Amino acid sequence: MDAERYAKVRSLFLAVEELSSDQQQDYLADQCGDDRELIEEVLSLLDEHDSESALVEGNAAKPPTLPGDVESSETTSSGTVSSAAIDSGIAPFMPSALGQQSTATGNSPAEKSHRQFSRRKRELPSKSGTGKNSGAKSSAKPKSAAGQATMQGSQRTHASPRYAVDSSPPRRPPSPGLWQSRAKRHRRINSGWLLLAAILPTVFVGFWTYTTVVEGLRQSTASELAGIADSVQLNIQRYLDDQSRLTRSWSQQVDLRKSILALIETAKDDDSADQLRDSPHATEIRSQLRSLSQLDDIKYVVWDRTGQIIASWLEGGEDIGGRVPPEGAANLARAMRGETVLFGPEILQPQESGFEPETTLPVMAEILPIHDEDGRIVATILIRGFGMFQTFDELFHQTSEAGGLDVYAVNSSGMMITNSPDAVERLCAAVVPTTMEGQQASEVKTVACKLRVSDPDDSIATSSLALDLRRSQPLTYSVAGVSNGASGSMLTPYPNYAGIPVVGSWRWIDGYDIGIVVERTSDLAFATARTVRYGFITLGCLLTLTALVAASRIAKRTALAQAAVHPLSRYEVMSELGSGGMGVVYRAKHNQLGRDTALKVLRADRDNLEDRLRFDREAKLAASLSSAHTVTIYDYGRGEEGEAYCVMEYLRGITLYDAVARSGYLDIGRTLFILRQVCESLGEAHHLGLVHRDMKPQNVMLSMDPSVGDWAVVFDFGLAKPLLPDANSYQTSETIWAGTPMYMAPERYRDPNKIDPRSDIYSVGCIAYFLLSGRPPFLECDPESLFALVLTEQPIGIGVHRDEEIPEEISGLVKRCMAKNVDDRFRSIDELAKHLDELIPKYPWSVEQARAWWRVHGEDLG
């Protein structure tokens, strides 16, 4: 959503907020015309809007104060806090706390914004009513009060409280009885089991057993297919990598390169074609490749930088002087850039240059760059004829035969590029009589590799004519997924290229643009389930005779199961730490281990499907990380009545924001030391394909480690998202921004759904700016003004806030992290970490220095 769009949505929302539902619809239809998307955005905001809660929320967003800030009388005193407590709203937002009067005299838009913010802050009444205007009672109109609440509410972050302390939403009380089991009620229910089991024993026992068997088969089949797909992917990847290394070693052979360089010089003459054919260097190339490959039938083509053929395996050199065909120009260009390019599998076609394919079977080749003595790429060479496709195809054939499966490869267009035994067999039955052999069988294999793996309807038979008709049909479920570069599995039967119901798993090989499909017919996959079903039908009558006995045993087992202790009874709730937008957080102690934990429970008023799924995702994403600088998840699940909970590490310390609030900006060496630990946490997350998306000082906990000194831990992965989302997991799609605006990268404003690890690098740069200067990079109450600052302006120099010059290499680090263009930032968090490793020795921060700081500023933490 750009600035213009945001302004339009905002003005429409304010215009219709007080209107009735019918009047809102009419007004929006009149103002928006045919723009249904704009109408839906405004209506969505209206559905979520609660004016009373918004007013309370704005008034509750009072920011803390930095040391030396004469504008506010409030101070920040953060004691021992858990990461989950801050996630739930204990760590407040701080723009005005960091907005003390700037000493800069510049007139840049960013500096003006800082001064405007300071003036607005002085004009707002203090929370206690003891500000400059505290002597007079407020006579502001309701509209002004609402405007004030909206202004402060716009500063609220993911970690800020959504409700004021005096107007908390209804939630479960933090009492030990919260987790007690309802065993008595379950025992009363068990008294009705005898009658129920006596009437329908066969139905219940049979259905339960059958569904259990089917689910077990599904899981077993899914694991087997996924394992085979992973194994084939690994083998194919390894094989292609080996072939790439082998041919690359040939292309780098000294004598071969010298012969090619000599031909390039010959090609500069006007009548070079005849000279190239008769050149002894052409013969040397052929001899050297035969020697390297130990094959007399090795085939190759050499192109110069212009795309002209200067050497080939053809004895007569008919194609010398010809040009690369248009469809091969892209591969040639990639090789000219230094890549090793895999060609095929592909069926060769006759060329205008006179080239006639010597085989109708698919071929695979490697296209490699040729460097001169100075390391410049001056030519490319294509090498084939060493059995690459035959081995490639045989790997799939062996897997198909060994497991009774249909295993084949496809390209990004959905075309089959290997000879699936099942496909060849069906084509043989439809195209070639069983008495034909030799050349016809070879032609069938060629046709199999031209097969577009589409879902045929009843009008399309498996014939040569059907190959053309298939081009207008949709791809099968598995090929549609893998041709888009995705990997996955499907245990619900779907039709394959022959219209037969199958289940399957598929994997995409990056770098080679090859998809692997492993399928098994659903009849074979679930044959055991049918046997079980028929067996229960046969035994139904016999089970009815023992209904009373079975009912008695079932009732006893069920009563025992239902009387089970609630999983959270292991924890003793000590106190409530806070409540945020999603959950209530308690400090709890494990009864057996005696370990303090942070227990987060989904709030009662957010107990809906979407919030439960979001709560699940946060716990699972955080649990997938194991870095020592990332908060640890101990347990997760649902209680007896469906309440979602998460047990996590209880962090003792203060946030980076609190550290600055207590002592002002930090030492350069200390800042670098802390940032390096943050990079450790984010580095692991990025390597696992996760982007945090809400990095800010309030989401990094700082504590004192006796042996290391400052110890930083990153938490709050509530907004984290995977780079390659799993189609089977819950995903969110933002049409408005999710995160903390002043720490969000510019591209996040433009496209909230875009996931890029370099957005986290921008946020790390903002944290570095905050730690070094004691202020956020941008301060503005008005969201539109903040939007414009982040997109277009550079923050005030760090030295201005510190009233001292800082080294250029430090300010350069921050500027590079906060570059507006993502390509100007560090390419990865690992590159940033490496750069920090180079700077840290120049700006040391010792354990003794850390201890001295904590003795003065962290004395209350114990």
C-alpha span between 716 and 578 (Å, rounded)? 14
C-alpha span between 501 and 316 (Å, rounded)? 52
477: domain range? Answer: 221-235+404-527
C-alpha span between 661 and 771 (Å, rounded)? 10
Task: Provide the pLDDT for residue 601.
Answer: 86
Task: Provide the pLDDT for residue 51.
Answer: 62
C-alpha span between 92 and 75 (Å, rounded)? 12
Tell me the β-bridge partners of 646: 600, 636
Q: How far is CA 356 from CA 348, 353, 360, 564, 798, in A?
A: 8, 9, 10, 77, 69
Whether residue 259 sits in one domain with residue 227? no
Task: Provide the pLDDT for residue 452.
Answer: 85
381 lies in some domain: yes
The secondary structure of residue 128, as a DSSP letter, is T
Whether residue 494 sits in one domain with residue 351? no
Whether residue 491 sits in one domain with residue 374? no
Tell me the β-bridge partners of 517: 408, 506
709 lies in some domain: yes
Task: Provide the pLDDT for residue 19.
Answer: 80
7 lies in some domain: yes
Q: pTM of the predicted model, to two decimals?
A: 0.41
Whether residue 508 sits in one domain with residue 373? no
- One-letter amino acid at 647 equals V
Last residue of a domain, one of 527, 559, 584: 527
- Beta-carbon contacts of 451 under 8 Å, excluding residues fewer than 6 positions away, are 415, 416, 423, 427, 467, 470, 497
- Beta-carbon contacts of 844 under 8 Å, excluding residues fewer than 6 positions away, are 669
Token pair in block for residue 128: 């206690």
Token pair in block for residue 769: 């700016």
Q: How many domains does the chain have?
A: 4
pLDDT means over runs of 10, the chain (862 residues) = 71 80 83 83 76 52 36 35 38 33 37 40 35 35 34 34 39 43 48 56 73 82 90 93 92 90 82 79 89 90 90 83 85 91 84 71 90 91 90 89 86 88 71 45 58 73 54 87 90 88 92 91 81 71 63 56 60 80 82 87 80 78 86 81 82 91 93 95 89 87 92 79 54 47 81 82 94 89 74 87 92 93 93 95 94 88 68
Q: Residues annotated as binding site?
A: 600
The CATH number given to whatever domain includes residue 424 is 3.30.450
Whether residue 442 sits in one domain with residue 373? no
Q: How far is CA 247 from CA 233, 250, 288, 292, in A?
A: 21, 5, 13, 9
Token pair in block for residue 665: 């900006």
Q: How far is CA 278 from CA 265, 317, 378, in A?
A: 14, 9, 21
Whether residue 721 sits in one domain with residue 670? yes
Task: Provide the pLDDT for residue 781.
Answer: 65
Q: Residues annotated as binding site for ATP?
A: 600
765 lies in some domain: yes
The secondary structure of residue 67, as a DSSP letter, is T
- One-letter amino acid at 104 equals A
Last residue of a domain, one of 527, 547, 577: 527
Last residue of a domain, one of 527, 551, 566: 527
Task: Provide the pLDDT for residue 606.
Answer: 77
Whether residue 364 sits in one domain with residue 260? yes
Whether residue 335 sits in one domain with residue 281? yes
Q: What is the pLDDT of residues 511-540, one digit of tens each?
A: 888 999 999 988 888 877 777 777 777 766
The CATH number given to whatever domain includes residue 332 is 3.30.450.20
Tell me the β-bridge partners of 654: 702
Task: Provide the pLDDT for residue 270.
Answer: 64
Are 844 and 835 in contact, with CB atoms under 8 Å apart?
A: no
664 lies in some domain: yes
The CATH number given to whatever domain includes residue 807 is 1.10.510.10
Q: Classify residue 372 as exposed, middle or buried by CB count within 10 Å of its CB (0-12, 13-18, 19+).
A: middle
Please name which of 257, 278, 255 lies closest in space to residue 266, comparing C-alpha atoms: 278
Task: Provide the pLDDT for residue 213.
Answer: 79
Task: Look up tokens 């996955």; give the residue.
Answer: 488
At what angle are helices 21-32 and 3-16 packed, to 10 degrees? Answer: 150
301 lies in some domain: yes
532 lies in some domain: no
Give backbone dihedrals phi and psi of 306, rounded to 5 degrees, phi first.
Answer: -85, -5
Whether residue 416 sits in one domain with residue 356? no
Whether residue 757 sits in one domain with residue 687? yes
852 lies in some domain: yes
Whether residue 423 sits in one domain with residue 373? no
Whether residue 362 sits in one domain with residue 227? no
